Amino acid sequence: MKYLEEFRDPQLARRLLDDIRSITTRPWALMEVCGGQTHTIIRHGIDQLLPEGIELIHGPGCPVCVTPLEVIDKALEIASRPGVVFCSFGDMLRVPGSGRDLFRVRGEGGDVRVVYSPLDALEIARRNPDKEVVFFGIGFETTAPPNAMTVYQAERLGIPNFSLLVSHVRVPPAIEAIMRSPSCRVQGFLAAGHVCSVMGVQEYPELAERHRVPIVVTGFEPLDILEGVRRAVRQLERGEHVVENAYARAVRPEGNPAALAMLADVFEVTDRAWRGIGVIPDSGWRLSERYREFDAEHRFSVSGITTREPVECRSGEVLQGLLKPHECAAFGTLCTPRNPLGATMVSSEGACAAYYLYRRLDLAPPRSGAAPEVTPVV
């Protein structure tokens, strides 16, 4: 398949690995930001093929994983109400709230529907004017533009029974928070290519300069990852710290102007809580004043719901790259994809799910207290 097979070519992968080996003189720790990249790395064993001493730390870039428990609880509360059609992408249905998940709400009679686009939810609203239709709008800069466009359309078409439960987050403030953490070991970043295809790379040079870290915009196929690692290591070996675009087939420096304009119209930047991490300043979006009437949190008065994260789940440390999934005592025992304790085990992009899916049989059984002491980001 075009743009897939050629980026999985074993011979080219060997050449890139040889190149990385030839330029590496000392250990380096790189963070791949996106959960999709983590899955490629673990699935193809890329971390095991790299020269010894090059560590890939798995970052927080899984949209389902970073959605706070209390937002899930708000979704459950709204979805349980009579007269509500609650629409979501399928991966959110199994994410546990503090007591149940959206599947359970559906089993109990709630009208919970899986849709493939927020526009599907808007169409449901248009056809059912007697219902309140809510779309669960989570994720990074990649999913925010279509959600913004849906709200824009709802206003333009006069569909008042549609609303958005918003929990959108932004990558650059998370990188800032990771770099400020006293426990941070990250020396270079593989930035998420799809995020940059929307946002461009304008926010990254300042981060690279301030924290003296190379940032390489990287794609999602095995050769993309290897090329991202190669460029980051080359910079580190040379003592450089600039932004490079290794995903030029999808990313333009200025991003996608139409998407950026839509985001600027519908959303405004706000502080956001990240699951297991806490509040990161300016790290998210909410609906702007003009579109506030489409805010489900406001419409259903669920802002007051607050929830504590379960103490046994260490996904916050996993999401900050401070802990590998198998170092969590619950990994593969109390916590499995069938009975997940945290979102990083549920989500198809979650690091815990990746380790369970591709590597659990190779790993030593987790030992209680095996994980190192760490200092959280915030």
CB of 367 to ligand SF4, least distance (A): 13
Two tokens, residue 136 = 């669960």
Two tokens, residue 314 = 């260490």
Tallying the residues shown for the chain, one arrives at 378
The number of CA neighbours under 13 Å toward the Cβ of 304 is 2
- Rounded to whole angstroms, the Cα distance separating 44 from 256 reads 31
Q: Which helix (H) or strand (E) holds 138?
A: strand 132-139
Please, which residue, 63 or 214, has the CB nearer to ligand SF4? Answer: 63
Q: Which helix (H) or strand (E) holds 285?
A: strand 278-287
352 binds ligand SF4 (CB under 6 A): yes
CB of 108 to ligand SF4, least distance (A): 25
Q: Which helix (H) or strand (E) holds 326?
A: none
274 binds ligand SF4 (CB under 6 A): no
Beta-bridged to residue 84, according to DSSP, are: 132
- Rounded to whole angstroms, the Cα distance separating 171 from 144 reads 12
Beta-bridged to residue 243, according to DSSP, are: 215
CB of 32 to ligand SF4, least distance (A): 17
Contact 191, 150 (CB under 8 A): no
How many of the chain's residues bind ligand SF4 (CB under 6 A)? 16
Contact 280, 173 (CB under 8 A): yes
371 binds ligand SF4 (CB under 6 A): no
Rg (CA), the chain: 21
161 binds ligand SF4 (CB under 6 A): no
CB of 360 to ligand SF4, least distance (A): 10
CB of 139 to ligand SF4, least distance (A): 19
213 binds ligand SF4 (CB under 6 A): no
342 binds ligand SF4 (CB under 6 A): yes
Site string for ligand SF4, 112-141 (x = CB under 6 A): ------------------------------
Neighbours of 10 (CB within 10 A): 9
Please, which residue, 122 or 323, has the CB nearer to ligand SF4? Answer: 323
CB of 312 to ligand SF4, least distance (A): 6
Site string for ligand SF4, 295-334 (x = CB under 6 A): -----------------xxxx--x------x--x-xx---
CA distances from 133 to 1, 73, 304 (A): 38, 17, 21
- Rounded to whole angstroms, the Cα distance separating 230 from 17 reads 8
Neighbours of 370 (CB within 10 A): 13
CB of 314 to ligand SF4, least distance (A): 4
CB of 111 to ligand SF4, least distance (A): 29
Please, which residue, 138 or 345, has the CB nearer to ligand SF4? Answer: 345
69 binds ligand SF4 (CB under 6 A): no
Residue 275, phi then psi, degrees to nearest 5: -60, 130
Please, which residue, 170 or 314, has the CB nearer to ligand SF4? Answer: 314
Identity of residue 45: G
335 binds ligand SF4 (CB under 6 A): yes
341 binds ligand SF4 (CB under 6 A): yes
CB of 298 to ligand SF4, least distance (A): 31
38 binds ligand SF4 (CB under 6 A): no
- Interface residues with ligand SF4 (CB under 6 A)? 312-315, 318, 325, 328, 330-331, 335, 340-342, 344-345, 352
